[in-house]
Amino acid sequence: MEKLLQIINAMLAAKNRDALVKLERNFSLRNDIGFDSLDLAEITVRVEDAFGVDIFEDGIVDTIGDVLERIGK
């Protein structure tokens, strides 16, 4: 989960937003973290580069828990 937190915090920093201290499995990428559709596309690429998994390949991903399931964590 630490690597995913690093990815998300790098994206938040690029938008001049505060970093997250920790991730909760129930955090919504859109509602809690504030990602828009472009951010979701970016996180897909970053997660695939880091973990070798396309998190949206098998359908919609909404929460951190969904992402962790797709990357096998």
pTM: predicted TM-score of the whole model, two decimal places: 0.91
**Per-residue pLDDT at 17:** 96
**Per-residue pLDDT at 73:** 76
Which tokens go with 35?
């990602």
Residue where the block lists tokens 């994206």: 11
In order along its 73 residues, the chain shows pLDDT tens digits of 899 999 999 999 999 999 999 999 999 999 999 999 999 999 999 999 999 999 988 888 999 999 999 999 7
* Domain around 45: 2-71
Residue 31's Cβ-count burial label (10 Å; 0-12, 13-18, 19+) is exposed
Number of domains in the chain: 1
C-alpha 6, offset from chain centre: 10
